[in-house]
Amino acid sequence: MERTLAILKPDCLQKKLVGAVLSRIEQAGFSIIAARILHLTPTQAEAFYSVHLGKPFYPGLIEFMTQGPCMVAVLEKDNAISDYRALMGNTDPALAAPGTIRHEYATTIRYNIVHGSDSHENAGREIAFFFSESELCLTSPAAAKK
Ligand code: CDP
Ligand code: MG
């Protein structure tokens, strides 16, 4: 089992698409093992997206991600990282394949509804950015019996 961090971005909440997007995630076989709604501060958004510091879109990205609340969630599934990237689709919705979340719901390369970790290393870092280990609910059969 692999874990990845998903963010339902401020445009997703503003458009009231949380239910639709979570439904797509569950239908694709992911278990949601932690979730919280929060309004990122500029300091938090800058730290989370520090890999993009210096890029032309960075200031606009920080403004977008702090403009309203978002939902952060941890998804669990075999191959969760690459499978969730595939479910999201290309960063630019104009290039995202039909059937992907971004093709269906995103408007521009910035206002693209969802975030997903892009590597094992970043998934670990991003999950720990928002959640402690004790907040992640185990979904193994042994845990379900308890
Ligand atoms: O989210 P993803 O990993 O697909 O793309 P990224 O290259 O890591 O960029 C992070 C985020 O920055 C994107 O999801 C967009 O919200 C934003 N972005 C932007 O505003 N303008 C761009 N030209 C590229 C990305
Ligand atoms: Mg990225």
Query: Which residues have their alpha-adjacent CB atom under 5 A from ion ligand 2?
Result: 118
Ligand at minimal distance from the CA of 88 is 1
pLDDT at 14 (0 to 100):
98
Q: Residue 69 to residues 10, 13, 89, 116, 135: CA-CA distances in angstroms?
A: 5, 7, 22, 17, 20
Q: Residues with beta carbon inside 6 Å of ligand 1?
A: 57, 60-61, 91, 109-110, 112, 115, 118
Which residues belong to the active site? 115
Name the closest-CA residue to atom 2, ligand 1: 91
What topology does CATH give the domain 2-144?
Alpha-Beta Plaits (3.30.70)
Q: What is the CA(110)–ligand 1 centre distance, in A?
A: 6
The predicted structure's pLDDT at residue 57: 98
The pLDDT, as a whole number, for residue 142 is 56
Q: Please give the pLDDT value at position 8.
A: 99
Closest-CA residue to 118 (of 77, 73, 76, 88): 88
Neighbouring-strand partners of residue 35: 73
Q: Write down the pLDDT at residue 146.
A: 47
Tokens of 2: 């692999």
Mutate to test the pocket of ligand 1, among 46, 67, 112 (most ligand atoms within 8 A of CB): 112
What does the pLDDT read at residue 31? 97
Low-confidence ranges of the chain (pLDDT < 70): 139-146
